[in-house]
Amino acid sequence: MNSVGIDVSNGRSMVAVLRPLGEVVSAPFEVRHDSVSLLSLSQFLQQLEGESRVVMEHTGRYYESIAKSLHEAGLFVSAVNPLLIKEYGGNSLRKVKTDKADAVKIAKYGLDNWAELRDYTPMDETRYNLKTMHRQFQLASKTRTALSNNFVALQEQSFPGIRKCFDSPVRSDGTQKWVDFTYTFWHVDCVRKVSLKAFTERYRKWCKRHGYNFNTDKAAEVYALAMSAVVLVSKNETTKVLVQQAAAQLTSISRSVETYRAEMNRLASTLPEYPIVMAQYGVGTSFGPQLMAEIGDVRRFARKQSLVAFAGVDPAPNDSGDKTSRSNKTTKRGSPYLRKTLFCLMSTILQKSPVDDPIYQFLDKKRSEGKPYYVYMTAGANKFLRHYYAKVMNYLDTLENEASGKDPQQPSC
């Protein structure tokens, strides 16, 4: 048995090959991430005597090219969570951090955990694109929040309070009424320097031009706010540039967010579990694709506890001797993007309060027992994932049985 430890870096990797009892098959050597070098590496490993298993850390995107190449060459490849490698001591008190030492450490980990190594399976293109799209969506959403806060701060200097006059939701093209309004009426003097009748007529034409609903009472409300507002900056070219550029930036990133959202839903709709995921309460065209993007193919989890652990919403046992902890913190060692989506989903379920939904019933029960907010929210996320796993697995099994012509009620031999 040959344990091949690969320490992955950007564009290159360090490779070490060990056998049991500390036998060194190959001292650490460097491999570039190009087709010729990876082909040479796969040929070298295939020529080794005995079974070979390649072990590497599941880090970012760097490992994917070498893992895919070796997997397609017919080698057993295992991508391991970096935390497992980090906590693996390797029976040494010395702290050495070099690429060569890390490659040897990973190879030793492969030998000590030979039977538990899981074979790497490349993600299909649709799920890969969906996950990448979701990460870009999260980045754009975070940027939009920052730009929105910045824009509100600028508004409070030139037109304080105007944000609260508009409550229209974001449109599918990413535009928002309060942002478009402030781009045109960027200072209170743009409103109060004319009469109410003149502003009302200008506001009506503006609504028609941008496709928004016109309301005379809204025009009067905005005009009254402008007449009573106390501004910090005067109406000049500098103020205009600051406000309008901030509005343009916010609209631009908002368009990107909505484009990502629509494309994620389109990609998710092509996956087999889409109908059953979307049928769950609270899961709409936004949360559904996000869940599917981060969970991926649910069949890769051996049991529902594995999915819960992947999300990091499982309580970590903390018992020792006579100490028995009754309230444990969650591990938070899984996907932070999945936890964020689950938290937003639990908030939605609590706001809607569907009395017939089992997840809401569970949340309400924990809340009525006096559990802290984050405790019952995390417990609800845990229960939701268990329901998700059971429903999706049953649905996929039914589809497979129908495709193969088997009777789903008839047990297999």
pLDDT in tens, 233-276: 999 999 999 999 999 999 999 999 999 999 999 999 999 999 99
pLDDT surpasses 50 at 412: no
Span 180-200, average pLDDT: 94
Q: What is the pLDDT of residue 319?
A: 62
User: Residue 289: its pLDDT value, please?
Assistant: 94
Q: Which two tokens stand for residue 361?
A: 């019933």
In angstroms, how far is the first alpha carbon of the chain from the final one? Answer: 35
**Region 285-289 average pLDDT:** 92
Per-residue confidence band for 324, with pLDDT thresholds at 50, 70 and 90: low
Residues 268, 290: Cα–Cα separation, whole Å: 9
pLDDT average, residue stretch 138-157: 95
- The full set of domains in the chain, from first to last, is 2-116 (3.30.420.10), 128-267 (1.10.287), 274-404 (no CATH)
Q: What number of other Cβ atoms are within 10 A of residue 350's Cβ?
A: 19
Point out the least confidently predicted range of 49-58, 63-72, 80-89, 248-257: 80-89
Least confident window among 31-35, 91-95, 225-229: 91-95
Q: Mean pLDDT across the stretch 28-57?
A: 88
Of 334, 297, 302, the closest CA to residue 316 belongs to: 334
Largest CA distance in the chain: 91
DSSP-H helix ranges across 47-124: 62-72, 82-87, 99-112
Task: Give the CA distances from residue 403 to residues 126, 390, 399, in Å, rounded to whole numbers and listed in that order.
Answer: 21, 20, 6
Question: Which residue bears the tokens 């090959």?
Answer: 17
State the pLDDT at residue 218: 93
pTM to 2 decimal places: 0.82
The residues near 187 (Cβ < 8 Å, ≥ 6 apart) are 158, 159, 231, 233, 235, 239, 240, 243
Q: How far apart are CA 17 and CA 306, in angstroms?
A: 30
The strand order across the sheet containing 2-8 reads: 23-32, 12-19, 2-8, 52-57, 76-80
Q: What are the pLDDT digits (tens) for 296-310?
A: 889 888 889 889 888
Dihedral sign from CA coordinates of 59, 65, 70, 74: positive
Alpha carbons 340 and 323: distance in angstroms, whole number: 32
For the CA atoms of the chain, what is the radius of gyration?
A: 28
Average the pLDDT over each of 50-64, 83-97, 115-129, 143-157 and give the range with the smallest value: 83-97
Burial (CB count <10 Å: 0-12, 13-18, 19+), residue 274: middle
Task: Over range 266-293, report the average pLDDT.
Answer: 92
Q: How do 12-19 and 76-80 pair as beta strands?
A: unpaired
- Percentage of the residues of the chain whose pLDDT score is greater than 70: 94
Least confident of 56-60, 283-287, 371-375: 56-60
Report pLDDT digits (tens) over 341-362. 999 999 999 999 898 999 999 9
pLDDT of residue 384: 93
CA 154 to each of CA 159, 163, 184: distance values in angstroms, whole numbers, following the listed order: 8, 11, 14
| Contact status, residue 109 vs residue 103, Cβ threshold 8 Å | no
Of 114, 97, 133, which is closest to residue 18 (Cα–Cα)? 114
Spell out the residues 6+ positions from residue 117 whose beta carbon is closer than 8 angstroms to its own.
53, 55, 76, 78, 80, 110
Q: Which two tokens stand for residue 314?
A: 């499982």
Mean pLDDT of 46-71: 86
Residues 6+ apart with CB under 8 A from 315: 328, 329, 330, 331
- Look at residue 25 and give its three-state secondary structure: strand
DSSP-derived 3-state class of residue 283: coil
Percent of the chain with pLDDT over 90: 48
- CA angle 8–12–16, rounded 5-degree value: 60
SS3 336: helix
Say what the pLDDT of residue 323 is. Answer: 65
Q: How high is the mean pLDDT of the chain?
A: 88
User: Which token pair is 255?
Assistant: 């368009």
Is 410 a residue whose pLDDT tops 70? no
| DSSP designation for 174 | S
Which of the four pLDDT bands, split at 50, 70 and 90, describes residue 413?
very low
Residue whose pair of structure tokens reads 């970590």 in the numeric block? 316
